[in-house]
């Protein structure tokens, strides 16, 4: 199959969420209104009192009038919770986790989405919240903490916030997002080794990531996220058999984890075991019917078996669930190309490129579709674009040279 892309996903154990809503107009701040960072500290104190000391929590989302202020509040809350003895999952891996889960934390965040992130980050509690104006002179800070294992609210502190000069200044300035603070000192818990593994994985230092995840498992043999991530690391290194073993252990520990089935399906697909892959993707979909990546991945397995109708049905459903899923468009385009449907292939690859302009493979495959449709100049332009993105792409270079020869250049 031509450059078929596969989507990987991974998950964690808990998260903490912050929320705020607009209320009726007020001319003066409530008598109990306090400064923003006093409210954040009070919220942290309440949360720490309501959850056991040493709990691992993930602060996953915060909604406010601007993104920079939200990030500042998340950092302040994380620091205050840490000061009260709560272990905080490293937020530097949050972007990676969201990408793996096909999630966005823009705007209001559901408990379900927050719990998915927390589960991935091996948190016992997830925290999220919001800060919004409730009158002419006040805001309200709402924070919610959710227990990952039970999905129950552990705590929901709420505070009136005075609309003072400091807050007005931050709202007006739209401050830049601060970088999440890094933990200092050696890791002391399984969760801390998991966090380090995430960071090494993102740097593509798979050898060190493997060591960190293995140490997390040694410290806590029941840490499903560590098995999931070690499986993903082995998958990226081409060790499909080792990946399947780790994903299977993650499933034993958490039998209802859709991402573990999805990822094991990818490993089976890598071994050419397409029936097993389809079975795992189907189970992932049963557990999470909105899992667009699982539909796209199952479509790839069907395509490998030349089951075109089933493949297109899965790609179409993935795109219905997430119209901005670049891999689903890429994979459907690959299926159209395999059937000689060049116009449809070009349309899908064009969408994939719009959604992910740095994917050189989409340019290569669109170039192939243009070439096979007889549009050599467009094919050459696509291959050249692919090489600008990935100068070492042998396929792009070979196809460019062949297209130039056909064009008489």
pLDDT at 9 over 50: no
pLDDT at 14 over 80: no
Closest Cα to residue 160, out of 264, 42, 58? 42
Q: 56 with 122: CB under 8 angstroms?
A: yes
H or E, element range at 43: helix 36-50
User: Any idea which of 36-50, 165-179, 283-297, 300-314 has the lowest mean pLDDT?
Assistant: 165-179
Closest Cα to residue 293, out of 278, 305, 281, 301? 281
**Under DSSP, is residue 356 helix (H, G, I), strand (E, B) or coil?**
coil
- CA gap 260, 257 in Å, rounded: 6
User: Cα-flanking dihedrals φ and ψ of residue 104, to 5°?
Assistant: -125, 140
- How does DSSP assign 317-344, residue by residue? HHHHH-TT-HHHHHHHHHHHHHTT-HHH
pLDDT tens profile 209-250: 999 999 999 999 999 999 999 999 999 999 999 999 999 999
Write b or e for each residue in 232-265: b if 16 or more Cβ atoms lie within 10 A of its Cβ, otherwise e.
bbbbeeebbebbbbbbebbbebbeebbbbbbbbb
Average pLDDT over residues 122-135: 91
Domain ranges of the chain: 12-173, 186-288
CA 125 distance to own-chain centroid? 18
Candidate CATH numbers 3.40.50.300, 3.30.1600.10, 3.40.718.10, 3.40.50.10610; the one for domain 12-173: 3.40.50.10610
User: Any idea which of 44-48, 169-173, 329-333, 389-393 has the lowest mean pLDDT?
Assistant: 169-173
Rounded to 5°, the CA angle 100-103-109 comes to 145
What global pTM score does this model have?
0.84
- Two domains, one topology: 12-173 and 186-288: no
Torsion of CA 269, 274, 279, 283, to 10 degrees: 30
**How far apart, in Å, are the Cα atoms of 245 and each of 68, 235, 236, 281, 375?**
42, 11, 14, 17, 47
Q: How many CB atoms lie within 10 A of CB 188?
A: 11
Closest Cα to residue 105, out of 238, 16, 5? 16
Write b or e for each residue in 194-219: b if 16 or more Cβ atoms lie within 10 A of its Cβ, otherwise e.
bbbbbbbbeeeebeebbbbbebbbeb
- CA gap 266, 246 in Å, rounded: 13
Residue 16: strand pairing partners = 59, 145
* Farthest CA pair distance, the chain: 81
According to DSSP H, which parts of 237-338 are helical?
A: 240-253, 258-270, 274-287, 292-304, 308-321, 326-338
269 burial (CB, 10 Å; 0-12 / 13-18 / 19+) is: buried
Q: 55 with 86: CB under 8 angstroms?
A: yes
pLDDT tens profile 52-104: 888 999 999 899 888 888 889 999 999 999 999 999 999 888 888 988 888 87
The predicted pLDDT at position 175 comes to 55
User: Cα-flanking dihedrals φ and ψ of residue 240, to 5°?
Assistant: -70, -35
- How does DSSP assign 107-158, residue by residue? SS--HHHHHHHHHHTT-SEEEEEEEEE-SSSEEEEEEEEEETTT--EEE--E
Q: 87 with 153: CB under 8 angstroms?
A: no
Q: 80 with 40: CB under 8 angstroms?
A: yes
pLDDT tens profile 29-50: 677 889 999 999 999 999 999 9
The predicted pLDDT at position 178 comes to 54
Fold of the domain built from segment(s) 186-288 = 1.25.40
Q: How many CB atoms lie within 10 A of CB 356?
A: 17
């Amino acid at each position: 199959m031509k450059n078929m892309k596969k989507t990987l996903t991974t998950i964690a154990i808990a998260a903490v969420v912050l929320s705020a809503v607009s209320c009726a107009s007020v001319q003066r701040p409530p008598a109990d209104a306090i400064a923003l960072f006093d409210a954040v500290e009070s919220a942290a104190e309440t949360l720490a009192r309501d959850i056991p000391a040493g709990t691992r929590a993930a602060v996953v989302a915060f909604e406010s009038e601007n993104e920079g202020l939200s990030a500042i509040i998340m950092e302040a809350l994380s620091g205050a919770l840490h000061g009260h003895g709560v272990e905080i999952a490293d937020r530097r891996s949050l972007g990676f986790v969201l990408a793996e889960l096909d999630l966005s934390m823009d705007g209001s965040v559901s408990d379900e989405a927050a719990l998915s992130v927390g589960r991935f980050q091996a948190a016992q509690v997830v925290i999220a919240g919001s800060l919004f104006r409730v009158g002419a002179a006040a805001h309200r800070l709402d924070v919610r903490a959710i227990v990952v294992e039970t999905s129950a609210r552990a705590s929901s502190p709420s505070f009136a916030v005075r609309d003072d000069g400091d807050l007005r200044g931050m709202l007006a300035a739209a401050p830049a997002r601060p970088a999440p603070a890094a933990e200092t000192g050696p890791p002391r818990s399984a969760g801390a080794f998991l966090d380090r593994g995430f960071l090494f994985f993102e740097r593509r230092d798979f050898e060190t990531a493997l060591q960190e995840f293995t140490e997390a498992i040694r410290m806590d043999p029941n840490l499903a996220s560590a098995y999931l991530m070690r499986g993903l690391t082995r998958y990226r290194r081409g060790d499909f058999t080792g990946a399947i073993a780790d994903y299977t252990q993650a499933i034993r520990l958490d039998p209802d984890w859709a991402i573990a089935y999805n990822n094991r399906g990818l490993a089976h697909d890598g071994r050419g075991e397409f029936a097993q892959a389809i079975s795992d993707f189907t189970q992932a979909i049963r557990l999470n019917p909105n899992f667009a990546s699982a539909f796209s991945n199952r479509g790839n397995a069907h395509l490998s078996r030349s089951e075109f109708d089933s493949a297109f049905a899965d790609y179409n459903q993935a795109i219905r669930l997430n119209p901005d899923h670049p891999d689903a468009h890429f994979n459907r385009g690959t299926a159209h190309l395999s059937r000689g449907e060049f116009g449809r292939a070009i349309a899908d690859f064009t969408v994939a490129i719009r959604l992910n302009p740095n994917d050189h493979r989409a340019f290569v495959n669109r170039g192939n579709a243009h070439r096979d449709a007889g549009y050599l100049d467009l094919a050459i332009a696509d291959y050249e674009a692919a090489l600008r993105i990935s100068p070492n792409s042998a396929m792009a270079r070979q196809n460019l040279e062949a297209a130039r020869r056909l064009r008489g250049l």
